[in-house]
Amino acid sequence: MFRRWFSAGIATRRLVVLFCAAVLLVALAVRYPDAFHDANDTARANAALDQVDRAVGAGNSVFPDQALLVEARGLIPPDESFAVAVGPPQPGWTDLTANGADLFLRSFLLPRRLDPEARWIVCVGCDRNDYPGADAVWEGEDGLSVLRRES
């Protein structure tokens, strides 16, 4: 058997295959435990979050206070529309607040549609004088509020 193996190039090509398999196995021995631990760590980290943190997801990085998202979802009926008004950046805002708030709210609040003339206004540090007659239905910190105006 060994004579046959080492004759006429069989050994060479099989050694190449064995080499490839060995490299794959060594790499797998290094990578598998890491990938397995990473998946378990992520599972533990996700389980440690509360339901609101999970539901808000990336919103925690966009807004200084997740309460705005929770309140907007609770106050604005699903079949109504809303406007987003973003003012100048304020202390406490994240790097993403000014530029990402509008898009995140449009995504998060679906099926509520975006409409600049809507009765509901999600105010992110906006100037309330721009919305005369609008009442604050909810007010938080860092200039966050939900306003409603008469239709």
Partner 1 sequence: MTARAILGLAALNGAYAVLGVALLWAIRGLPRWTDVLRLAGLGYLLGVAAFGVVWTQLLVVGVPLGGWGVVLSLACGTSAAAFAAVLLGRQRPRGFGDPERHASPFAVLVTAAGVSLSGLLLEALFRSARLQGLQAYDAWAFWVPKGKAIYFFGGLDEQVFTTFPGPTYPPLVPILDAASFHAMGGADTITFHLQFWFFVLGAVAAIAGLLYRHVSAWLLWPALLLVLTVPRVASHLLVPQADVLVDIFFVVGALLVALWVRDGRGWRLAGAAAVFAGASVTKREGLLFAAAALVVALAASFGRRRVAWPSLVAVGALVAVAAIPWRLWYRSHGLGGEAPSDAVLGGSLDRVLDSLRLSADAFFDTTLWSVVPVVALIAVGAALVWGDRRLGAFVAALLGLVFLGGAWVTYSYRDIPITANESVNPIVRYTGALVLLAAVTMPLLLTSVWRSRTEEPP
Site size toward partner 1 (CB under 8 A) is 47
Instruction: Count Cβ atoms within 10 A of the Cβ of residue 80 and give its class: 0-12 exposed, 13-18 middle, 19 or more buried.
Output: middle
d(CA 147, CA 134): 6
Footprint (CB under 8 A) of partner 1, residues 37-56: 38-40, 42-43, 46-47, 49, 53-56
Minimum CB–partner distance for residue 135 and partner 1 (Å): 27
Q: Is 88 helix (H, G, I), strand (E, B) or coil?
A: coil
d(CA 151, CA 118): 8
Q: What are phi and psi of 124, to 5 degrees?
A: -115, 85
85 or 134: whose CB is closer to partner 1? 85
The 1-40 contact track toward partner 1, x by CB under 8 A, reads ---x--xxxx-xxx-xx-xxx-xxx-xx-xxx-xxx-xxx
Minimum CB–partner distance for residue 118 and partner 1 (Å): 13
Minimum CB–partner distance for residue 14 and partner 1 (Å): 6
Q: Can you read off the two tokens belonging to residue 110?
A: 């679906």
d(CA 5, CA 129): 88
Instruction: Count Cβ atoms within 10 A of the Cβ of residue 59 and give its class: 0-12 exposed, 13-18 middle, 19 or more buried.
Output: buried
Evaluate whether 78 touches 111 at the Cβ level (below 8 Å). Answer: yes
Decide if residue 74 touches partner 1 (CB under 8 A): no
2 or 132: whose CB is closer to partner 1? 2
Decide if residue 108 touches partner 1 (CB under 8 A): yes
Residues near partner 1, by CB under 8 A: 4, 7-10, 12-14, 16-17, 19-21, 23-25, 27-28, 30-32, 34-36, 38-40, 42-43, 46-47, 49, 53-58, 103-104, 106-108, 110-111, 113-114
